[in-house]
Amino acid sequence: MAAGDLIGGRYRLTKRIAAGGMGDVWRGLDTRLGRRVAVKLLHPGLAEDAAFKARFVSEANLVAALNTRSVAAIYDCGEEDTPEGTRAYLIMELVEGRSLAEVLREDGPLPVRLAARVIAAAAEGLGAAHAAGIVHRDVKPANILIARRGVVKIIDFGIARVSGETGLTATGSVIGTIAYTAPEQLTDQDPTPAGDVYSLGVVAYECLAGTPPFGADNPAAVIFGHLAQDPPPLPETVPAALSAAVMRALRKEPGERWKSVRAFAHACREAVGAQPAETVVAEDEAPPAGTPPGPRRRPLVLAAVLALAVLLALALVLRPWRNLGPGERDDAGGAPSVSADPPVASAPESAAPSSPSPSPSPSASGETKPQDGGRTGPGNDDGGNPGGDPGGGDPGPGPDPHTAKVPNLSGMMLRDAKSRLAEEGFTHTRPVFKRAWNQPNCLVYGQSPAAGESVDKAVTVQIDYYISNPATCDPDELAARSVAHVRGTPPWWRPSSPG
């Protein structure tokens, strides 16, 4: 297809704006109504596949029945005979803006308030779908669009499924994008709204941290993370209540998550609302176009300035202080007051510092006094001799080249873990395997010393890993296997031979 082609006798293609595994998305014009639309075209020949055709028509019927601004509307569907073959198409609402995936890739993590608003808005669209008995099954940043006015819309219900109905996919297939897929989807359980709660939790985590919780390049490690590992903590800049809300959405057991996406959205809003205003970046609160501005805080600032001025005026009149001679105490019997005379300059340090005194004299506050124009260094004792550490404040020796922090090996393949240790200078390893037929072969699940611990590079690092097939432990072979089939005993989870 090319720009200018007419689809369905009324939709003119103007510009291709996206391409995916199932087809292309074009900007188009409805010549009958004169409105701009998005045209989703299946690749040639897929319309002849009964399963793909059923999925495509199912998306149109499911989404067209929803009535919410948080889901991109579908206006029409059909088939078009082209020189390349029959192509099925959807005519959808055109959303001017960027996908959340583009926003995260180009701008990085979102400010906490903006992240909470995006997740809450996406939850509204998913909540409407769940109320109609529809489970999305592919919630991810690429399927969340943010319009120019800040409106959030869910798209791509192409693999959605009505709860309780037979799916359109082959038995044993994992549907969705692995990085955002719920644990129960990986074991081919029936889809429920709890799966979308988990996927939205992964999206929320990525909005706040910049990466998904289980973002390894190896699909096996990602699957292992979803099934058996706890998500890494979110950055400390994320409010504790918001972090707890996201972590609850990411629990392994569906029954332990939020009861609905709307409950998750409410928790996110509550967490952000409880955050002190002064810790929020001002840009976070910029309202979308058309939103009336909130109350101004200038009167409070003015009142504070006036109060401070009154206090200063009273201080000048009452003069609660008086000039005292050196060593005098004020009438209240408190600590010696500051002398009115200018301080006497200290004698300059000699170029060659003397030997350090065995017991340096700290300042009254217990902190070292700044020397040499504000640089913090050892203070002088009463006799003018430098005290504290030798060297007059020069920095001490650098880090020990013989020590290093042990890298995190969990989720890696055995060979990759050894390579990672070698990169950090650890050449002595002790692999210890555990027989587990239901775990990925050669997947590292533990280590000693622990990740992040600073130790001598000469120590032996123990690598704990699973083994299900003693005949092979080749990570390349494992990575090459399909991750689509995980029902029953897939190839990499097969029991080892007897004996």
Mean pLDDT of the chain: 72
Which neighbouring-strand residues pair with 93? 37
Encoded tokens for 442: 């050669």
Q: How many of the other CB atoms lie within 10 Å of CB of 279? A: 9
The average pLDDT across 31-58 equals: 84
Encoded tokens for 96: 């001017």
Model confidence over 372-425: pLDDT tens digits? 443 333 334 444 444 444 444 444 455 677 889 999 998 888 888 898 898 899
How high is the pLDDT of residue 250? 97
What is the spatial distance between Cα 175 and Cα 197, in angstroms, rounded to a whole number?
Answer: 16
The answer to whether residues 353 and 336 touch, using CB atoms and an 8 Å cutoff, is no
**Active-site amino acid positions:** 138
Q: How many CA atoms lie within 13 A of 207 on its CB side?
A: 28
Name the region of 470 (left: φ>0; alpha: ψ -120 to 50; beta: rest).
alpha
The average pLDDT across 216-223 equals: 82
Of 121-125, 190-194, 270-274, 472-476, minimum mean pLDDT range: 472-476
Q: Which residue has the higher pLDDT, 54 or 114?
A: 114
How high is the pLDDT of residue 29? 97
The answer to whether residues 193 and 135 touch, using CB atoms and an 8 Å cutoff, is yes
Assess whether pLDDT exceeds 60 at residue 1: yes
What is the spatial distance between Cα 263 and Cα 269, in angstroms, rounded to a whole number?
Answer: 10
Q: Which domains can be identified in the chain, with CATH numbers?
A: 6-93 (3.30.200.20), 97-164+174-277 (1.10.510.10), 403-493 (3.30.10.20)
Model confidence over 82-127: pLDDT tens digits? 888 888 899 999 998 899 999 999 999 999 999 999 999 999 999 9
The Cα-based distances of 283 to 100, 112, 299, 466 in angstroms read 18, 11, 21, 48
Residue ranges of alpha helices (H) inside 132-239 are: 183-186, 193-209, 219-228
What is the spatial distance between Cα 235 and Cα 8, in angstroms, rounded to a whole number?
Answer: 50
Give the residue carrying structure tokens 């008995």.
133
The answer to whether residues 224 and 411 touch, using CB atoms and an 8 Å cutoff, is yes
Share of the chain above pLDDT 70, in %: 64
Closest CA to 261 of 58, 65, 68: 68
Of the ranges 82-86, 314-318, 461-465, which is most confident?
461-465
The average pLDDT across 427-455 equals: 84
Of 157-161, 223-227, 246-250, minimum mean pLDDT range: 157-161
Assess whether pLDDT exceeds 50 at residue 22: yes
Q: How many of the other CB atoms lie within 10 Å of CB of 147? A: 17
Q: What is the pTM of this model?
A: 0.55
Of 136-140, 216-220, 329-333, 445-449, minimum mean pLDDT range: 329-333
How high is the pLDDT of residue 470? 53
Assess whether pLDDT exceeds 50 at residue 281: no
How high is the pLDDT of residue 377? 39
Which neighbouring-strand residues pair with 71? 154
How high is the pLDDT of residue 437? 63
Q: How many of the other CB atoms lie within 10 Å of CB of 367? A: 10
The answer to whether residues 402 and 456 touch, using CB atoms and an 8 Å cutoff, is yes
What is the spatial distance between Cα 330 and Cα 29, in angstroms, rounded to a whole number?
Answer: 85
3-class secondary structure, 380: strand
How high is the pLDDT of residue 13? 96
For the chain, the straight-line distance linking the first and the last C-alpha, in angstroms and rounded, comes to: 60
**pLDDT band at 128; cut points 50, 70, 90:** very high
The average pLDDT across 5-12 equals: 94
Torsional sign, CA 175, 179, 185, 186: positive
Share of the chain above pLDDT 90, in %: 35
Assess whether pLDDT exceeds 60 at residue 20: yes
Model confidence over 155-200: pLDDT tens digits? 887 555 544 443 333 333 444 588 999 999 888 788 899 999 999 9
Task: Give the burial class of 203: count Cβ atoms within 10 A of its Cβ; 0-12 exposed, 13-18 middle, 19 or more buried.
Answer: buried
Encoded tokens for 186: 């990986």
Name the region of 366 (left: φ>0; alpha: ψ -120 to 50; beta: rest).
left
3-class secondary structure, 19: strand
**pLDDT band at 53; cut points 50, 70, 90:** confident
What is the spatial distance between Cα 225 and Cα 7, in angstroms, rounded to a whole number?
Answer: 44
Q: Which residue has the higher pLDDT, 488 or 233?
A: 233
